[in-house]
A and B are shown apart, each in its own frame.
Chain A
Amino acid sequence: MTSRRDFIATSAALATTVAASRAFALAPERLVLPAQDDPFASELALEALNAAKAAGASYADARVGRYRRQNISTRERSISGVSDAESYGVGVRTLVNGSWGFAATSELTKDGVARAAREAVRLSRAARAVQRRPIELAPVAAVKGTWMTPIRRDPIDVPIEDKVALLLAANEAALKVPRVRFVTSGLQLLREIKTLATTDGTLITQTFVRVGPSFNATAIGDGDFQSYAEEIAPRGQGWEYIESLDMPGNAERWAALAAEKLGARSVEAGRYDLIIEPTNLWLTIHESIGHPTELDRAMGYEANYAGTSFIAPPEKHINQLKYGPEFMNIQGDRTQEGSVSRVAWDDEGVPADQWLIIEKGIFKDYQTTREQVAWIQKLTGVSRSHGCSFADSWSSVQFQRMPNVSLLPGDRDLSQADLIAATDRGILIRNRGSWSIDHQRYNFSFSGQAFYEIRGGKVAGMLKDVAYQSNTPYFWNAMDMIGGKSSYWLGGSFNDGKGEPGQINAVSHGCPPARFRQVNVVNTARSL
């Protein structure tokens, strides 16, 4: 059995391999499609940099993005939408006297990109009027190269009939379940080609492929209705992942849970030991660890929107805050295979990184971009960006976004069954339901899709109307058991929101199941 220490060591070795291969396309043996550069995009990007420099920028980057997004949605035996969207444009970011400006255009001509570059410089100059300290960027080595998400089959190229047939077969299977009257299912498929050029000499083109399936069934009976959404993780993989899910083969089992919920016992509010499956816990990690460890948040940059962080100021928390028990290790990375946040370089040309945000229960480091490094370098000793810069479109400015943030498995390879067997009175919680957390990430509320009572080490029937409402420091310090390596599962989302104007980010979170002692559970049923 691999110990946790070994697991981390292995991860570190992997990071070294990644670092060594950064100068060229990664893992070529896994690719079925070669990563490609885009000469037209490169030329436009360099044109934009020249215009920005000529207009007075001390630093500039230009990002040409070509996005293809396909969405298919169905309900019962019919199709509710098939759409295919292409978006192509360039965003130019400039520094003049230490102030940022950004302009974006879909006019992809030399004149068009030069105009955008000059507009960005104009914005930089306008920002000077309200600037107190100049932006400083941590150094990064110039890089030239290409990379592509390793896939076996490009999901966009799969015939639309096959995609629709797969979803309708899943719906048909679900509708076999008595009292299941409504089913929706869908596929979100995405291919992004991004070229980044910077005045530091970086020129890279990356192709990202991501897939996100969904399934939801609703049962009606006895004057009630209950839904069950299967937690199907989005992945940075190709069509082979969708096929591996066997949605048509599993849909009947999933839908049966919606029908079973109609007869489930309504939970009695109170304190319970919770065993939280990875299909639910990934989101709790996202909200209560992922967001508060964003450095821009801790520094107040999100104060007017998503909020700040209880982990502030940094000098009072780095190496001091006890987040949870000693076996709690939280990794930030943009390297995990199949994760949706995986890249070779971020949107500032910084190589993908992997590091510990929490080590042995103690908070160690934040998520960073180039301009943020200097803010905490003296506290962490880290002089590089962790590579967390991302923009969701050519028309959006890049800023600090969450990488994959994951709870590493425990030393002992415990299974979920082991956790249940060790629990006398508790509730097992499966899949993501409703979620909410305060603007400094203390007080949260999470529900799920299926809940089971645990009595005397055994599952003792289904519950409904369950939500756990707790606060971050209490909750993580109440964790007393976690599963091992073989119980680790990677969940995630395409749609994490942050920033003004709002941007979305795709992020994965891996974790084993874990047990939390005496957490507050509320009953969510109300009658009108």
Chain B
Amino acid sequence: MDTKKLSKDKFGDFMAILSRQKKLYVPQKEGESLRFAPVTAGSQPDLAFPNTTVPPKSVLFPQTETLYQFEQGNTDMSLPGEGEERVLFGVRPCDARAMAIVDSLFSWDVDDPYYLTRREQTTLLGLSCLEPGTNCFCTSVGGGPASTEGLDMLLTDLGEAFLLQTVTEKGEKIIQSVPELLEEATAEDLKAAEKLSQEAAVRIARGIDTDGIPEKLPGLWENPLWKDFSESCLGCGICTFLCPTCHCFDIQDEMEGFEGRRCRMWDSCMFSEYTLHASGHNPRPSRHERTRNRVNHKYSYFVKNFGTIACVGCGRCINLCPVNIDILNILSQVVKEAI
């Protein structure tokens, strides 16, 4: 599609115009964590990161969302508003790929109107990942520092300017709305961007050859590796809540006085009550079954259902696990095991 160049001294104007057009989200520090939040007066985008702590899935699939509200003794329901057009700036290619992956889940047998409406209303402006983090491994799972899958436009920091490459019509529209700020990109610019992303890909130090893993996993169901790797698991929700492709949710009715709301919120297969039946029986009674499920879901079940691994190699689950349970380590053991 289209390629343009945005000089850095016009970057402020570019962002200002974007924020007038739509609700603009950028990565911002919240305490010690980094997450996508709406731009307000005085808020500063923080773009010097390999990855945000909380992935941008939190905008399209919020941790808690109210589906409708009701009052006791009254059959009327009030639905939330229509939503609004948003633009997310600074999305890493891995996180955008995660959305492309999750799209197929949320439009599978039944369309999920909440996610899909928001997805439709959102424009994703990506930022090439030129300084990959220690545990990044996107190149092992089909991604790359300049992957455009899931994005509407990709920006690459060329030093003095950004190179803008549109991917979809939504991205085109953004470019068309700010012609006065943009210059034509030259062949050298494109070459420079490609060189930068290739160099970044070389700096990705960790990885795994995923060939054969999805086919092998079902045969390792009773393998002792699950117990070995989950022995130190605390059973917390870090690896799943902060995973850009984890999409499980719970639905709860919450009453306060006579007013209630039906809402859905992130759930985690690492919690014991995730699979707890009303009878009291729990088919995944211990942490090793839950760890096995987490890896199998990403590297086996999702592949079977949708033809793609549901892991984008962002490294968050490795970076943030308090006890160093490392999915690359688990996968390399899977590769080693004989069925």
Chain A bound to chain B: no
- B contact set with A: CB distance below 8 Å: none
User: Which residues of A approach B to under 8 Å, CB–CB?
Assistant: none
